[in-house]
Every structure is written in C-alpha cells, then in structure tokens.
C-alpha cells in the first residue's frame, strides 16, 4: 500500500475544479484510492465523496492507494495534488 | 393588467419582450416496491446514460459559445453521473430495499443535498444545486417527463423562472433570450453571475415573478433598478425605450475608452484606479480598463476563518494581484480590522466607541508578529510587480515611523535570507483622521504618498456616524471643511514632490470628479464599474476650468451649495 500526506495550500481548498481533476486521475487506475481527512475516509474516485469532506485550506489530508497499479497511481495523483492543491 | 415587481438588479441593461415562463416539470415521486431488481437497475443505468449524452451536448455547446470556464461546471456534473458513491449507492438501494429507481435516486440525492447545504462554506452550499440539477435530469429520464426546453425558444423572449440552474443558463440562445427574471437568488447567485457574463439584463429575487407573469405577457426588465414591469402602458414602454437607447449609446461610448488615457481636454493626465477586496475582483478591474489598484483591502484574507492567514497564503494572494496588473501600480493596505470589523480569533476588547478605538495600524503595532507576517508576505510579493504599501488610520507621525521601520527591518531580514524584494517599494498612509490631514505638510516630508480615505475622513471630521440614520444628513462629502482638508493634503504632497490619491467612494462620484481634478488629485480609486464613466467625464473636462470651479467651491459655505455649483456650471456630463 502507498500512503502520502499533504497539506492543502490552495486558497479554496479542494473544490470542484481541483476535485474534478483529482477524481478523473484516480479513476484511471484499478487500485483502490482513498482520501482521509478529519478522521473520515472517502473513495477518491467519487466526486461526491471528495467534496463531501469539505477540505479547506491548510487541511492535512492523507491519500492511500492499494492495488496492482498503486505505484503509478500514487505518482499520477501526487502530480495532480502538487500542481494546484498542496504540498 | 400593468404591474411592477421589485427585485435585485443583477445585470445591467433593459430588455423588452414577451415572457416565457419556465415551468417546473411536474414530478411526483412515489415509493414503489419492485420485484425485478436487476431490470430496475438497468432502467436506472439507461437513464444515467441518456443524461450523460444530454450533458455532453450542453457542455460542448457551452464550451463553444461561452468558453472553458463556464463549461467546467458541466464536467463536474458529468463526474457526478459517473460517481461510484451515487451510481452504486442508488443501485444497491434498489437491490437491498427492493424500491423503484426514482425513489432510490431521490433518497441518495437528498442525502447529499442536505449534507452540502449544511456545510459551513458558501462554495460547498452552492454545490447542493449541482446535485439537484443532475438528479433532476436523471429523474426526468426515469419518469419519461418532457423537460420544458429553453433551447427550443425561437423568438425574442425574456425568461421568467423560479431560478435558473447552470444547465438552464447554458441552453439560453442569446439571439432570442434578451433577459431574465427569477423568483429567488441574489447578486452572487449562479444566475446573476451568468447574466453579467452573458451581458444580458437580469433581475433576481423578485419572489413572485413566476406567479405574477404568464407566458406571452409583455415584459420590461430593468437591470439597473431591479424592476420587472408586466404589461406596461405604452407611455411607460416609450420612456423605457429611450432609457434603453441611452444606456446602449453610453455603454458603447464608455467601452471605447478601455485603453484610453484619463486625460483632460487640456492635456492633464490622472490615474483612474480600482478598489478590490480579493484577487477574484481582478477580472472586472482589467475589463474596465483601470490604470492600477488604488486600494486592495487585505482584511478579507483574515475574515471568515478561525486563525490568522499564513505568510505563504498572503504572499500568493498579493503576488497574484501584482502579476496580473503587469507593472501597473498596486496599493495594498495593511490589515484594517478591529472595532466594528471583528476577528473572533484575535480576542479584541469590546469597546464603547469602536471607530475611535483599537483598530487598524493601532492594532498592528501592538500585534507585531501578525503585522510582521503581513509585511514579509508583501515585500516578498513586491518582486512581482509595482507594489505600494499603505498604512490605515495613521493619526501621528510616530505611528508611521514605527510602521516604516518595521518595513525596513523586514526588508533586511528577507535580503539576508536571500529572498527577492523590489528595490523600491513606496510606503504611504491613508488620510482619514482630521489630525493627519491638518499636518499633511509634516507627513509629506516622510511618506511617499497619501491616499485620502473619504468614508472615514468625512465621518470623523463632521463627527457623524453615517450608519446612524438620525445623523446621516451630516455625512456631507462636499462640506467646505472636507474640501479644504482635501486641498491641504494634495498641496502638501505636491510641495514635497509626492502624489496624492483618494480611495473613498467619493472618488468616483460625478459631482466630486471635477472638484478633485481642480484641486489637483493625482489618483482616483473607485469601484471598477465606475472607472469608464469617470474616464469619460475626465476626458470631457478642462483642468483649467476645474481649477476655477474648485477655487469657487472652496469659498462656499455649505455642501449643498457646492453640489449645486458643480451641476449649474455643467461639469456633470450624463
């Protein structure tokens, strides 16, 4: 399993635009991708799930990926996060 | 029957046409027990697929006609249709509870709508409408109900609706739809924003337009005043036709001035700048041709949250503004809170008289760590444009000196850390306290610029709280004392080779512009939408005439007589 922590630096948190990109990217892999925030965990392939977390700026989130293509998936998701969401 | 509805003016302009009332499709959703779960799930998936096809078409159309930004919302909608939580959620509900697809869909979407509406964040609250929009589309397919199609409109129309969803607005054919009015919504709701970006007149929040109007009624939408006139009389129609022609003519005139200089007929040039609250306001600043930012109110970065914004967050915001202004001057005002503008997490004392209390620079010089963080973010951002730092509520020279020396210290620290800082960052003050205006000559030797904050200067000088109805008549922008203070500040600045601006509401008012021009004001900062009208006025005036006007005005005993003089002498163009 791959696991990576991030701090969201985007001013508006994870809202529609970045969430869309993130969900699209996660959907390209067969591994299970989850996003954890504030004690809750959701399917990162679900836009509803991701937005329902209400991740705001400065939030600490964890992304966990498990499956046959977890390596590539982590790399791809990591790129999307770093491009516009956080570090 | 003639009738006038009052609403919120959401998008400027005037439209005349027959009404098209958008009916909410009748949808009764009953809970039914089903026996063949698999075929019910298939039926649901078919409805989802048809919805997808429909949305894809709407998305392509929006992309083509309105650009990527506006089409993005439909990408989000499409994603909702592919969402495993929703699709699997509905499917498993059908399977486990043996209920019909309509009921399962409604249950799941209601759950998400409630969840989003309950969120402590306006953006997320708005997302509830996305889910409603998508689930409505699926339900219509499931029920086989024909959606009233806005896309089918083939003659000049104004649309009357309870609300317009993103998919509704995307279907509007602007060759036929001349404007719209809604029952609900405010200036920042989706429909209002879309109306402004499509540049069609709109009135929102009329509460009862769909009840008061029938399809085929003759309607006038007045997007300036927020009126919807139903079946108006011919005389009213005629006067609105004139108003419309005048508006269109004027808008065309103003639009020509976007890239023009703000220069008088006798060659005196001034800077017309805009006031902003967040980087989101920049689009309006640029499209209205402002020559700079005269006031960036940074308090919005600090408000609506539970802790101070980080240096990084502030840096990003300042940098964005500086970069997008491409070297044009940007005056950023350091934190102006305290008193009436509260930040709960600062635990500020309650005061009997907050306007005379612990706020703005007084607070910042006390909370030095907080202030230093802002100064660091500002100076780091200075490398990306033409930054000028302005301190609010300065009453004494000691305050300015202390703030200035903190700027100098922060600069040294940053340079030591190897950070880039612009070589020259002007530091100035907002002139809003009468004591400061009175000794402007002494300040002028030390500051780089003045910006007169008239909203507070007027209320402090006349000792009249403009929020208090009983004394509001004493809030007089053209009171001789105000004009004389303004004159004193401008002259003091010029004597030391410095510049003077104004960032209160007064700077964009058509009565004030000729007076201020005559008094020698260098920079006028106002709301972005006032810039073009003000530029048009400046370009019609001669500096010499306004100087004579100002000389005369300053001798008049009352605010009323000053305003009358400006009007009488023909300095107001519109």
What would the pLDDT profile of B203-237 be if each residue is shown by its tens digit? 999 999 999 999 999 999 999 889 999 999 999 99
A46 — pLDDT class (breaks 50, 70, 90)? confident
Does the pLDDT at position B97 exceed 60?
A: yes
Smallest Cβ distance to B121: which of A23, A43, A56?
A56
B347 — pLDDT class (breaks 50, 70, 90)? confident
Q: Which alpha helices (DSSP H) does chain A contain, by range?
A: 16-27, 47-52, 70-84
Q: Do A16 and B112 touch (CB under 8 A)?
A: no
Average pLDDT of span B94-116: 90
pLDDT higher for B123 or B180?
B180
- Judging contacts by C-beta atoms under 8 Å, the chain B residues touching residue A14 are none
Q: Which helix (H) or strand (E) holds B418?
A: none
Give the nearest chain A residue to B127 (CA atoms): A16
Q: Which helix (H) or strand (E) holds B8?
A: strand B8-11
Q: Which two tokens stand for residue A22?
A: 């993130």
Share of chain A above pLDDT 90, in %: 31
Give CA B28 to chain center in angstroms: 39
Query: In this structure, what are the phi and psi dihedrals at residue B428, rounded to the nearest 5 degrees?
Result: -140, -175
Smallest Cβ distance to A48: which of B75, B80, B123?
B80
B120 — pLDDT class (breaks 50, 70, 90)? low
Average pLDDT of span A29-48: 89
> Which residues, in sequence order, are CB contacts of B277 under 8 Å at separation 6+?
B296, B297, B300
pLDDT tens for each residue of B370-401: 999 999 999 999 999 999 999 999 999 999 99
Give Cα separations from B497 to B13, B380, B441 (angstroms).
44, 27, 11
Q: How close A49 comes to chain B (CA, Å)?
A: 7
- Judging contacts by C-beta atoms under 8 Å, the chain B residues touching residue A7 are none
Q: Do B72 and A16 touch (CB under 8 A)?
A: yes
**Looking at residue B75, what is its pLDDT?**
79
**Looking at residue B69, what is its pLDDT?**
67
Q: Could you give the CA distance from residue B525 to residue B508 in angstroms, rounded to a whole number?
A: 7
Does the pLDDT at position A75 exceed 70?
A: yes
Query: In this structure, what are the phi and psi dihedrals at residue B467, rounded to the nearest 5 degrees?
Result: -80, -15
* 3-state secondary structure at position B452: strand
Residue in the block written with tokens 């914004």: B309
Smallest Cβ distance to B124: which of A46, A51, A58?
A51
Average pLDDT of span B487-511: 94
Q: Do A48 and B123 touch (CB under 8 A)?
A: no
Q: Could you give the CA distance from residue B389 to residue B429 in angstroms, rounded to a whole number?
A: 8
**Looking at residue B72, what is its pLDDT?**
73
Among B70, B83, B129, which would you mutate to test the A interface (most chain A Cβ atoms within 10 Å of its Cβ)?
Answer: B83
Give Cα separations from B377 to B37, B141, B382 (angstroms).
60, 53, 9
> Which residues, in sequence order, are CB contacts of A75 under 8 Å at separation 6+?
none
> Which residues, in sequence order, are CB contacts of A12 under 8 Å at separation 6+?
A56, A57, B123
pLDDT higher for B317 or B340?
B317
Q: Is the dihedral of CA A72, A75, A76, A77 positive or negative?
A: positive
User: What residue ranges define each of the domains in chain A, with the CATH number in brackets?
Assistant: 2-83 (3.30.1340.10)
Give Cα separations from B45 to A49, B81, B130, B147, B194 (angstroms).
20, 10, 20, 19, 32
Does the pLDDT at position A32 exceed 60?
A: yes
**Looking at residue B30, what is its pLDDT?**
87
pLDDT tens for each residue of B466-475: 767 788 789 8
Find the Cα–Cα–Cα–Cα dihedral B404, B360, B280, B123, rounded to 10°: 140
**Looking at residue B339, what is its pLDDT?**
64
pTM given for the model: 0.61
Q: Could you give the CA distance from residue A46 to residue A61 in angstroms, rounded to a whole number?
A: 16
Q: Could you give the CA distance from residue B212 to residue B4 in angstroms, rounded to a whole number?
A: 9
Q: Chains A and B: how many Cβ contacts under 8 Å? A: 58
Does the pLDDT at position B260 exceed 70?
A: yes
Q: What does the H/E/C string look like for B200-221?
A: CCEEECCCCHHHHCCCCCEEEE
B123 — pLDDT class (breaks 50, 70, 90)? low
Does the pLDDT at position B574 exceed 60?
A: no
- Judging contacts by C-beta atoms under 8 Å, the chain B residues touching residue A17 are 72
B161 — pLDDT class (breaks 50, 70, 90)? very high
Q: Which helix (H) or strand (E) holds B9?
A: strand B8-11
Give Cα separations from B570 to B134, B559, B562 (angstroms).
56, 17, 13
Interface of A with B (CB under 8 A): 9, 11-13, 15-17, 19-20, 23-24, 27, 42-43, 45-49, 51-52, 54, 56-58
pLDDT tens for each residue of B266-279: 999 999 999 988 88
Q: Which two tokens stand for residue B153?
A: 């409109």
Give CA B54 to chain center in angstroms: 33
B490 — pLDDT class (breaks 50, 70, 90)? very high
Q: Do A15 and B124 touch (CB under 8 A)?
A: yes
pLDDT higher for B190 or B219?
B219
Give CA B439 to chain center in angstroms: 35
Q: Are B516 and B482 in contact (CB under 8 A)?
A: no
The separation between the first and the last C-alpha atoms of chain B, rounded to the nearest angstrom, is 34
Q: Which two tokens stand for residue B464?
A: 């009249």
Does the pLDDT at position A24 exceed 90?
A: no
- Judging contacts by C-beta atoms under 8 Å, the chain A residues touching residue B130 are 16
Average pLDDT of span B341-362: 84
Q: How close B507 comes to chain A (CA, Å)?
A: 31
Residue in the block written with tokens 């970065």: B301
**Looking at residue B342, what is its pLDDT?**
73
Minimum mean pLDDT range among B124-128, B205-209, B507-511: B124-128
Smallest Cβ distance to B313: which of A15, A47, A57?
A57
Q: Could you give the CA distance from residue B302 to residue B277 in angstroms, rounded to a whole number?
A: 11
> In DSSP terms, which residues pair with A62 in a beta bridge?
A5, A36
Q: Do A16 and B120 touch (CB under 8 A)?
A: no
**Looking at residue B119, what is its pLDDT?**
73
pLDDT higher for B484 or B573?
B484
pLDDT tens for each residue of B546-561: 999 999 999 999 999 9
- Judging contacts by C-beta atoms under 8 Å, the chain B residues touching residue A47 are 76, 79-80, 83
ipTM strictly over 0.90? no
Question: Is B190 a residue of the active site?
Answer: yes
Instruction: Indicate which residue of B77, B141, B190, B479 is catalytic.
Output: B190
Q: Could you give the CA distance from residue B208 to residue B184 in angstroms, rounded to a whole number?
A: 9
Q: Could you give the CA distance from residue B358 to residue B362 in angstroms, rounded to a whole number?
A: 6
The residue among B378, B562, B355, B542 whose CA lies nearest residue B463 is: B355
Q: How close B63 comes to chain A (CA, Å)?
A: 16
Q: Could you give the CA distance from residue B360 to residue B392 in angstroms, rounded to a whole number?
A: 6
The separation between the first and the last C-alpha atoms of chain A, rounded to the nearest angstrom, is 20
Q: Do A48 and B86 touch (CB under 8 A)?
A: yes
Q: Could you give the CA distance from residue B228 to residue B455 in angstroms, rounded to a whole number?
A: 33
Q: Do A47 and B79 touch (CB under 8 A)?
A: yes
- Judging contacts by C-beta atoms under 8 Å, the chain A residues touching residue B119 are 54
Does the pLDDT at position A14 exceed 80?
A: no
**Looking at residue B280, what is its pLDDT?**
76
- For chain B, the maximum distance between any two Cα atoms, rounded to a whole number of angstroms, is 91
Smallest Cβ distance to A47: which of B73, B76, B115?
B76
B115 in reach of chain A (CB within 8 A): yes
Smallest Cβ distance to B121: which of A11, A19, A54?
A54
Q: What's the angle, vertex CA B285, arms to CA B518 and CA B184, rounded to 5?
A: 115
Does the pLDDT at position A15 exceed 70?
A: no
**Looking at residue B298, what is its pLDDT?**
93
> Which residues, in sequence order, are CB contacts of B399 under 8 Å at separation 6+?
B361, B362, B365, B391
Does the pLDDT at position A83 exceed 90?
A: no
Average pLDDT of span B412-441: 97
- List residues of A with catalytic annotation: 15
**Looking at residue A17, what is its pLDDT?**
66
Q: Do A54 and B72 touch (CB under 8 A)?
A: no
**Looking at residue B433, what is its pLDDT?**
97
Share of chain B above pLDDT 70, in %: 95
Indicate the average pLDDT of chain B: 90
Average pLDDT of span B319-333: 96
Does the pLDDT at position B488 exceed 90?
A: yes
Q: Are B75 and B55 in contact (CB under 8 A)?
A: no
């Amino acid at each position: 399993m791959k696991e990576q922590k991030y701090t969201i630096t985007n001013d508006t948190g994870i809202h529609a635009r970045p969430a869309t990109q993130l969900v699209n990217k996660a959907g390209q892999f067969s591994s299970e991708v989850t996003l954890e925030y504030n004690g809750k965990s959701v399917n990162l392939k679900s836009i509803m799930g991701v937005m329902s977390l209400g991740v705001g700026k400065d939030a600490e989130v964890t992304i966990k990926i498990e499956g046959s293509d977890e390596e590539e998936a982590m790399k791809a998701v990591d790129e999307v996060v770093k491009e516009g969401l956080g570090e | 029957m003639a009738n006038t509805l009052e609403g919120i003016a959401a998008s400027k302009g005037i439209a005349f046409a027959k009404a098209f009332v958008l009916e909410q499709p009748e949808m009764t959703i009953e809970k039914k027990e089903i026996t063949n779960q698999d075929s019910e799930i298939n039926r649901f998936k078919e409805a989802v697929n048809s919805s997808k096809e429909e949305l894809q078409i709407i998305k392509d159309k929006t992309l083509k006609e309105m650009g990527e930004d506006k089409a993005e919302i439909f990408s989000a909608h499409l994603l909702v249709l592919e969402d495993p939580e929703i699709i699997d959620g509905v499917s498993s509900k059908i399977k486990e509870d043996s209920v019909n697809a309509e009921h399962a869909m409604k249950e799941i979407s209601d759950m998400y709508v409630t969840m989003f509406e309950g969120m402590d964040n306006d953006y997320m609250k708005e997302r509830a409408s996305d889910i409603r929009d998508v689930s409505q589309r699926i339900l219509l397919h499931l029920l086989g109900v024909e959606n009233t199609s806005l896309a089918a409109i083939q003659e000049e129309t104004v649309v009357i609706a309870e609300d317009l969803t993103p998919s509704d607005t995307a279907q509007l054919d602007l060759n036929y739809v001349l404007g719209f009015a809604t029952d609900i919504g405010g200036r920042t709701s989706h429909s209002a924003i879309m109306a402004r970006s499509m540049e069609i007149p709109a009135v929102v929040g009329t509460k009862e337009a769909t009840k008061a109007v029938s399809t085929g009624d003759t309607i006038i939408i007045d997007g300036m005043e927020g009126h919807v006139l139903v079946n108006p009389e011919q005389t009213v129609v005629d006067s609105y036709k004139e108003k419309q022609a005048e508006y269109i003519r004027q808008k065309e005139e103003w639009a020509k001035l976007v890239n023009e200089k703000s220069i008088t007929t006798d060659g005196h040039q001034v800077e017309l700048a805009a006031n902003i609250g967040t980087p989101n306001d920049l689009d309006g600043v640029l499209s209205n041709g402002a020559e700079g930012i005269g006031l960036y109110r940074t308090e919005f970065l600090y408000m609506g949250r539970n802790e101070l914004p980080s240096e990084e967050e502030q840096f990003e915001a300042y940098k964005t503004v500086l970069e997008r202004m491409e070297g044009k001057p940007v005056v950023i005002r350091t934190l102006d809170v305290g008193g009436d503008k509260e930040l709960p997490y600062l635990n500020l004392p309650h005061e009997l008289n907050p306007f005379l209390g612990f706020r703005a620079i007084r607070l910042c010089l006390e909370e030095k760590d907080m202030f230093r963080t802002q100064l660091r973010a500002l100076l780091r951002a200075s490398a990306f444009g033409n930054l000028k730092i302005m301190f609010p509520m300065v009453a004494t020279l000691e305050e300015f000196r202390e703030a200035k020396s903190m700027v100098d210290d922060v600069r040294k620290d940053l340079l030591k850390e190897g950070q880039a800082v612009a070589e020259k960052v002007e530091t100035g003050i907002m002139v809003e306290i009468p004591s400061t205006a009175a000794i402007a000559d002494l300040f002028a030797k030390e500051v780089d610029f003045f910006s007169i904050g008239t909203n507070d200067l007027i209320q402090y000088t006349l000792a009249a709280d403009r929020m208090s109805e009983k004394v509001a008549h004493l809030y007089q922008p053209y009171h001789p004392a105000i004009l004389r203070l303004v004159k004193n500040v401008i002259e003091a600045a010029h004597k030391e080779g410095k510049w003077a601006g104004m960032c209160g509401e007064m700077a964009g008012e058509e009565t004030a512009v000729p007076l201020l021009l005559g008094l020698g004001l260098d920079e006028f900062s106002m709301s972005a939408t006032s810039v073009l009208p003000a530029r048009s006025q400046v370009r019609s005036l001669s500096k010499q005439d306004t100087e004579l006007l100002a000389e005369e005005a300053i001798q008049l005993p009352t605010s009323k007589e000053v305003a009358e003089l400006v009007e009488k002498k023909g300095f107001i163009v519109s």
